[in-house]
Structure formats: C-alpha cells, structure tokens
Amino acid sequence: MKNILSKKTFWALILLMNVAGCKSNDDFLKENPETFYTVDNAFSTSAQIDQALVAIYSQIRDLWANPSEEGWIFVLRGNGTDMYDVASIRRGATFNNYGLINVDNGTFYNIYGTYYQMIAKANLALEAAQLPHISFASEAEKANIIAQARFFRAYAYRNLGELFGGVPLVTTVSKIPQYDFKRATRAETYQFAIDDLLAAEKDLPETTVSGGRVVKGAAQHYLAELYLALGTQLAIENKASEAQAAFTQSISFASKVIDGGTYALMTSRFGARSSETKGNVYWDLFQENNVNYQNGNKESIWALQIDYAAYRAEDGKSKLPYSRTYGAVFRDGAKDHLTGTLEDVGGRGIAQMIPTMYTRDDIYADKYASDMRNSDIVFRRIFNGNVSSSPYFGKPVPWEVLYNGSADANTNTNNKSLVYPISCKIATDKYTGIADGENMSNLFRDDYFIRLPETILLRAEAKQRSGNKAGAASDINLLRARANASYMVTAADIDDKFNMILDERARELVYEEARWNTLLRMGGTIAVERIRKYAYWPEAKATLTFDYNLWPIPQTIIDTNKDVVIEQNPGWQR
C-alpha cells in the first residue's frame, strides 16, 4: 500500500508541474472543481437513489447481525439488560458496571451517531427524489422510493426516541456546519416518526416478490409500537385522554397486521426440513430457507437478507456470526465432560453475550416449563459428554455438574457464565460451508427484523395499558397456544409492572428483541429494577444506585452543540 500511494503521489506531482507550466499563476490559483458533488449533481437516475436506500438496508443488516462483532452493537442487541450479560472471560466488556457507564461512554455515542447517519441517508434520498432531472419509470416507483426513505427515517427516530428520549428533528441535508440543534420532546419525536410512517404506509406494497424490502406490514407494526410508546409517554405526562387515544391507535394498527389476512402464526410444520421427524413448527421458523415470507413463512414481516454465495464472492459481512458470538464455551466451563467446537456443543462459541439465569431458567420455572419454546430441539439443554475420561461420556451431563463442578463458589459462578442452553436461533445441526472450509461460527440464513408474535405482544401491552387485562391475556395466549404451553394465562396474571408481558417477550423473542428499546420505552423504574434483579454479575446491583429510564445524551453531542443548550437526561447529570 505504501508503494502504491508513493507512485500515485509521484504522478500527481508530475501532472501538477505540467499544468503549472501551461498556465499563468492567476489561472493556476483559480478553483474550478469538476468533481465536487452536491445533492443536485450526485444523482442522475432513479436507480442511483435506490442505491442510497440499499446503503441503509446494508447498514441496518450490519447493525443487527453484527458481522464485525462490535461491542457496542451487542449492547444494542440487549447486553446489559435483564436478559443478557457477559461471560467471566469478558467482564471487561460488561455493560452492567455503572461505575464505568457514564455520559462519556462510547457506546451511547456510537448508537446515537449511527441513527443520525441513517437519517442523513434517508434525507439525501428524499431530496434527490424531488430533483426535476430525475425520471422514474412511473409515479408508483417514485412514491415507493420516497416511502422507503420515510420508513427508514422513522425507524431511526423510533430508536432514538425509545433510547434517548426527545432529540433534534433533522429533516434536510445539512450543507453547512450547524451548532444550534434544538431538542424536541420525546412525544414530539415519536409523533414525527408516526407522521413519516403514516405517509410511508400508503405507498409501501403489501408483499414483495423477493425478501428484504420493507412492506406495508412493517410500517403498521412500527406504528403500533410508536403509538404505544407515545401513549405511555403521554400517560407519564398526565395526559390521560390523549394517552388512551394513542393506545387505541396502537391496537388498531397492530390489528391491521394480525387480522388483516396477509400474516398469520405458523401452526404446523413447514419449509425446508419439515419432513424430518425431529423438530417442531417453532424450530422450523429458524431453519435455512424458511425465514422469508416468500418461503411460505406467514409470520415473517421484515427480514434481513443473508446470501452465502455473496459471502463467498465479495460480501464478507453476509453472515450471522451467532454460533460464535452468542454460543457457550463448553470447552472452558465444562472441559472435563464437554469440549470442541462442533454441532454437539452448538458450534464454535466464544460467549461474547450470554443469557442471564432469568433468560435461561427463570422464565420457564414451574407451570411455565411445558412449552414448545423450552423443548430441547428449540432450547437445547441436553448435552452428551464427549470427553472419554468423563463418567458421563456418551450420556447427558447434568446441569448440576456443569454448573457446580468445583469446590470453589467463584469458579462455579464463572463456569456457569460460560455454559448454558443453546437456542436454535443461534446454532444448527447442519452448518453451511463446511466443505468450503468454513468452521461452525456462522449461520447463513436470513434473520428477522419483525416477526408477527412481536406485533401480538405490542397489542397485548396496548390492551393492558388501556385497562383491558383480559384482552392482553387473550393475545398472550395466542402465542402460548401455538407453543403448546400447558398453562394459559388469565387476566389475574397481568401485573401492573408488566412482568408477564416482559416474560412472554423473553420466551418468544430471545435473540430477536431489541430489549433496551422495550425496557426504556416502558418508563418508570422498570428497566433499572429488572437490571438490578436479573443481571448475572453483582456489579449491577452494587453500582446502579440511581434511577433512569433513558440513556444519556452523549456528552460530545451536548458539548459540540455550542449555540443551543441540550439538557441531559435525568439521572445522568454530572
């Protein structure tokens, strides 16, 4: 690389000397850039605008799948909540030690900045779509491009509003430095995203020929979530009638998705491996070639696209590194009985983010144990010893042995963080690419952004917040019935701290939900109370000595917005 750069520099200097020899000094000093791009001249075709949207799809895919294994993205996926923590070998990457988490933490800045990058790309596409020299195949094509851009802008503000509260609303492409952004309220941020989605909903298609592109159901799902979030915030502000109106809208948009006829829960075996005797319908949902609506999966509303051929050819990020990043490390925590990196231990796990005891055991305690989602094919708990010297060689190793194999309590705590049940969402018994030299780190299936059960759980919460606990229980039972759960919940189970809703979300949406969004959206002290209760390591309870229901505005953002004061969120003031 250094040689290449030096050659380029050499020829550039030769060119400059030739130009200087041909022109006067005055001419040489005049600037006439021929490749200075602006919104007006950077786009010449509608296909180029679509590529700006493709860049957002790619960014969201990488933000969710995390192919580069960025620590801050694990937080976005739930690390530090009630559901996930870090293993003993990664305690330096904890997001539960509040002696280390403050307004200068780079995780907050990365997440905040990433969503504004997305907003900038969406604004660019929106402005480019209105350029007079751009021709579209039809008005419908133009409307669809605009709808996708508005969807992505709303998606970004949905995340910012749920995580950080009210933020500046940027609607145009910035052409000069600006230091006077004014912060909107949280309700205004939600409303802005709602308005974008209402506009997008009209022009997004019901379905698409190929997977990946956003559709009407995705907009309706996020409208249900945003109206729920708005109603929750309005209730906090003691605007009861406005809050109820928002909850009614949330239920309405969720019902459009749930009862509209396009989507439905899968209740019988389907897809690429349905003829195999092992498995069940929930397991089918997470097999290769089964994830997209176009694969016959009627509960898939929006899915990110993974392509193994593209991965091999040019796109090294087209993968789900879930077996590696989320998988257990039996070879460390249970090395006397289990070792290796093959299918029998869930692949080549390195435990970058682990399920807490709440996620792996508590939610399935007692009457909640009998549930398809807790079956061994879905949430694998039976591991046969594969170390020849083990007394459990070829036989299931008891969890009591895996968890408590040492006389030292601290060693047991550490080991317990490394070994845990393996979800079918993060591992498989048939890894693609082994013949090509791939190891068992990556899955090459598509993955869900939105699956119908989450829409159902949003409606359940909106019903609960509207005072209809029986309706909330009925919605939860749609999922419990599909999972063949032995216990159906009743209105009496629907508690005012939303534990039932949160527990059912954990059962249904483990490794799918953006848990921080859910906890912070709920307001009050729900997030901090659950973190104190369920975090794996004791640092959380010891150091989380203050209450918060929003992440802090990154201090860098406050400092650089020098012409207008941006107030810090409660609990995070220095």
3-state secondary structure 140-194: HHHHHHHHHHHHHHHHHHHHHHHHHCCCECCCCCCCCCCCCCCECCHHHHHHHHH
**The pLDDT value given to residue 330:** 94
For residue 303, is pLDDT > 90?
yes
pLDDT tens per residue across span 431-465: 999 999 999 999 999 999 999 999 999 999 999 99
Task: Give tens-digit pLDDT for 233-265.
Answer: 999 999 999 999 999 999 999 999 999 999 999
Q: Which helix (H) or strand (E) holds 246?
A: helix 240-259
Give me the chain's average pLDDT, please. Answer: 93
Other CB atoms within a 10 A radius of the CB of residue 327 amount to 26
Work out the angle between the directed axes of helices 106-128 and 139-164 (0-180°, nearest 10): 160
User: Is the CB of residue 387 less than 8 Å from the CB of residue 337?
Assistant: yes
pTM score, two decimals? 0.92
CA 263 to chain centre: 21
Q: Stretch 351-379: mean pLDDT, rounded?
A: 98
Residue located via tokens 């050659």:
7
Rounded Cα distance, 216 and 219, in Å: 5
pLDDT digits (tens, 9 = 90+) for 133-146: 999 999 999 999 99
Taking alpha carbons only, the member of 473, 472, 518 closest to residue 229 is: 518
Q: Given the structure tokens 């009627």, which residue do they identify?
A: 298
**Tens digits of per-residue pLDDT, 270-293?**
999 999 999 999 999 999 999 999
User: What distance in Å separates the CA atoms of residue 68 and residue 82, rounded to the nearest whole number?
Assistant: 24
What pLDDT shows up at residue 36?
Answer: 52
Least confident of 20-29, 123-132, 161-170: 20-29
Q: Are 157 and 119 a contacting pair, CB within 8 Å?
A: yes
pLDDT value at residue 393: 98
Contact 216, 301 (CB under 8 A): no
25-39, 506-520, 526-540: least confidently modelled range: 25-39
Per-residue tokens: 191:
């409303």
Per-residue b or e along 116-131, where b marks 16 or more CB atoms closer than 10 Å to that residue's CB: bebbbbbbbbbbbbee
Quote helix, strand, coil % in the chain, to nearest 5: 50, 5, 45
Task: Give the span between the Cα atoms of 190 and 222, in whole angstroms.
Answer: 11
CATH of span 205-305+447-512: 1.25.40.10
- The total of other beta-carbon atoms located within 10 Å of residue 103's CB is 19
Tokens matching residue 564: 């207008």
Contacts of 237 (CB under 8 A, 6+ apart): 187
Closest to 117 measured CA to CA, from 187, 62, 80 = 62
pLDDT of 17 reads 33
Residue spans per domain, the chain: 205-305+447-512, 322-436
